[in-house]
Structure 1
Amino acid sequence: MSCEHLICARCSGPVVEGRCPTCRNARDHMHRHGPPIPPALVLAGLVVLFALALLLQRLY
């Protein structure tokens, strides 16, 4: 769903333009995609998984 065709009930303007605080809040809420995961955290997780795989390979 996008905010391109939504009309604000407060200012009667398109939400995508963000004319009033209500429009801006709705537009920001619509375009939020969840908490961002820092690339460094992803890389650290991959390194840990790789190290565990190597460790398990040596043990068995």
Structure 2
Amino acid sequence: MTADWLVCANCAGRVSEGRCPVCRAELARLRQERGPWGTLGSPGALIALLLALAAVAFLVTRPA
């Protein structure tokens, strides 16, 4: 789950903006749940990783 579309009941702002202490606490909790590998779960990061691996495979298999 991401905080992009979560709305805080305390300040009525987006949680991702971190306007109040409740928002900031929720952001910290979400980051702790995801852990260090949480960013790889996003589709954009996975596509970038696949493209990088394909580029390396292409360079390795290319004749000299």
TM tier relative to shorter chain? 0.5 to 0.7
Unaligned runs of 5+ in 1: 35-60
| Number of equivalences | 34
Unaligned runs of 5+ in 2: 37-64
TM-score, normalized by length of structure 2? 0.50
- Ranges of 4+ aligned residues in structure 1 off by more than 3 Å: none
Q: What RMSD, in angstroms, separates the aligned Cα atoms of the two structures?
A: 1.3
Higher relative contact order (CA 8 A, sep 6+): 1
Task: Measure how far apart 1:2 and its partner are.
Answer: 0.5
**Residues 21-40 of structure 1: CA distance to partner in whole angstroms, max 9, x if unpaired?**
00000011001128xxxxxx
In our comparison, the structure showing a higher alpha carbon Rg is 1
**Residues 1-59 of structure 1: CA distance to partner in whole angstroms, max 9, x if unpaired?**
1110000000000000000000000011001128xxxxxxxxxxxxxxxxxxxxxxxxx
TM-score, normalized by length of structure 1? 0.53
Whole-Å Cα distance in 2 between the matches of residues 28 and 5 of structure 1? 16
